[in-house]
Each structure stands twice: as C-alpha cells, then as structure tokens.
Amino acid sequence: MKSTAFNPDKDVPLLTGKVILITGGNAGIGKEAAIKFAKRAPAELWITGRSHERSKPALAEIQAAAAPGVSVRFQQLDLGSFESVKSAARAVLASVSRLDVLICNAGIMGGALGVTQEGYELRFGTNHMGHALLVKLLAPLLSKTAATLTSPKEVRVVVVASEAHKYVPKEGIHLDRIKSDGRPLTAIDLYSESKLANVLYGQELARRFAGQFTVVPIDPGHFATGLYTSKGAGIFIGLLGVMVRFIGTSMREAGKNYLWAATSSDVVSGEYYRPVGVGGDGGPFSKDEALRRRLWECTAKELEGHVL
C-alpha cells in the first residue's frame, strides 16, 4: 500500500483560531510535529514535558518556526503520575475555552523495569494509563468544542501508537499484571503491549464518542529519536536504534502522519493509520474486540474516582 502524497505546507489548511495540545512535544517526532503545526497558524499550541527548563530550547525552536501570532505555551506533565495529569488538565481547562486537537504523543520505550507512582508497569502506565486519564479529563472540552463547529469531525484525538503493537506476546496484553514491573517480560515486550493498548483504546474511544469528535490511532513511522537511547534501554532496543538510523526516514518527514490524522477529511474515526494516511494495516490483536472491551473496562475501573 502506497502512502498518501502529503505536504503539510500545502495540504493542511490554516488552523486559525484552533487550540492544539501535544504531549511530549518538546522532543523527537512530537517536536517536529509541533513545528509543522505552528507553521499553520493555530491560535495556541500547547507543549507538555516533564521539565520546563529542559524544554526551553525546543519551545524557542517551535516559536521561531511559528506563523505570526501563534502562542506557544508549555505545561508541565508527567504521565507516570495521576496527580501530575490532573494538575495539567486543570491548567489547560482554566486557560482555554476550546480544544480542537489533542495529540497523545509522549511515551517511553527503553529504560529499566519499574512502576509509575500509582504502581502500574512503567510503559503501560505512562504510554496508556496517563494518556487515558488525560483524555477522560479533557473529553468534555473536546465535545464542547465539536458542538460549536459545523463539522464535529474536525475535533481530533490522535493517539500515537506504533507498529510494535503487532509484536506483542501471544497473550496480547497481560491485564492481570499491569500493577507490577512487568517481569518476566522484556522492555520491548512491555512497550509493544502498551502500544497495542494505544490502538485498542483509541478504537474504543472512537466508538464511544462517535458523533462527538474523531479519534485516530496512528503509527508515527521510523525515526531515530530518544526512544532508542534511554539509559538502560537494553541490547535489543539499542540495536533497533542503530538499525533505524540506517533505514529510518529523515526527521524532515517526522510528524507528517500526525498532521494528516489531525486535519485530513479522509480520516475514519477508529481506523489505525501508518504513514502517511494508510489504513487497514493493524496487527491481529487490533481486531480483537473482546480484548478491546476488557482493556476499556479495566482502564475505566482504574480511573474511577480520578476526576477534577
């Protein structure tokens, strides 16, 4: 299947008046996507990261590339902490009256095994649970924004998954072990599980919010980013990083699938797209409706009581 011919500078309309939030937009593909979004003149572009100080160079780069009048704003967010997620959501809700695009981009692949503040396996907790809570808290604003538009389909949640979702262990997602450090699975197995969770949860969000806003799980593509260079990443992830540097796509192309998913009129809510705009390529477990329901029910139970 061939990629859609797509040039953000020509094919993305001006985003005048729109508010966009990108988690982890301070580095890697998220930053490249933020630069491309900033050029299309949204009213506000929110970037999250764990540290404002470390994010300042990226913020300056994004602002320098932005069209005149774009406000580039930073919000501290640690997806491994529900309190941090709630604090970030409160800050956004107190500052804006609309939210047109939410891109759930931030994530981790390598590093040592461990758990988040709430005790979830580190990759599952960061890549899936933290984003699931953020979407839950911001969904009313997304729906409110969509209700003001002629086409609610223009309001988008883009869930950044990965081709890795195709390579999970044979059980799919070990939902009985999400509150552990994931042993005996490896970091790459755990990352793959979290990315499958992104795909399945995006599909279920699309089903439950049908007619309110659009949800698009995507593969960002293969680029040499910090995902492959985390301290303690492990030999296999390190080798992946070396391979991606040789066969991966130029970082100039990074973020295109984000913009396509966030703006194209051809998007089908709930469909998984690889770069750029190619659907119908999800792995076997992406079609497992029973697992999708179990993941939704498990996640919803874990998020009970976490409100603003």
What average pLDDT does the chain have? 91
**What is the model's pLDDT at position 226?**
52
**What is the model's pLDDT at position 233?**
46
The confidence band for 249, taking pLDDT boundaries of 50, 70 and 90, is: low
pLDDT reading at 129 higher than 80: yes
**What is the model's pLDDT at position 85?**
98
The confidence band for 224, taking pLDDT boundaries of 50, 70 and 90, is: low
pLDDT reading at 247 higher than 50: no
**What is the model's pLDDT at position 240?**
45
Which of 191, 201, 258, 272 is flagged as catalytic? 191
Does the annotation mark 191 as catalytic? Answer: yes
Q: What is the mean pLDDT of residues 253-279?
A: 95
Q: What is the mean pLDDT of residues 280-306?
A: 97
In the chain, % of residues over pLDDT 70: 89
Write down all domains in the chain, each with its CATH number in brackets.
8-303 (3.40.50.720)
**What is the model's pLDDT at position 223?**
60
3-state SS string over the chain? CCCCCCCHHHHCCCCCCCEEEECCCCCHHHHHHHHHHHCCCCCEEEEEECCHHHHHHHHHHHHHHCCCCCEEEEEECCCCCHHHHHHHHHHHHHHCCCCCEEEECCCCCCCCCCECCCCCEHHHHHHHHHHHHHHHHHHHHHHHHHHCCCCHHHCEEEEECCHHHHHCCCCCCCHHHCCCCCCCCCHHHHHHHHHHHHHHHHHHHHHHCCCCCEEEEECCCCCCCHHHCCCCCCHHHHHHHHHHHHHCCCHHHCCHHHHHHHHCCCCCCCCCEECCCECCCCCHHHHCHHHHHHHHHHHHHHHCCCCC
Q: What is the mean pLDDT of residues 128-156?
A: 97
**What is the model's pLDDT at position 171?**
86
**What is the model's pLDDT at position 100?**
98
pLDDT reading at 242 higher than 50: no
**What is the model's pLDDT at position 88?**
98
73-121 confidence digits (pLDDT tens)? 999 999 999 999 999 999 999 999 999 999 999 999 988 999 999 999 9
**What is the model's pLDDT at position 250?**
60
The confidence band for 136, taking pLDDT boundaries of 50, 70 and 90, is: very high
**What is the model's pLDDT at position 96?**
98
19-78 confidence digits (pLDDT tens)? 999 999 999 999 999 999 999 999 999 999 999 999 999 999 999 999 999 999 999 999
The confidence band for 3, taking pLDDT boundaries of 50, 70 and 90, is: low
Residue 56 or 233, more confident: 56
pLDDT reading at 235 higher than 60: no
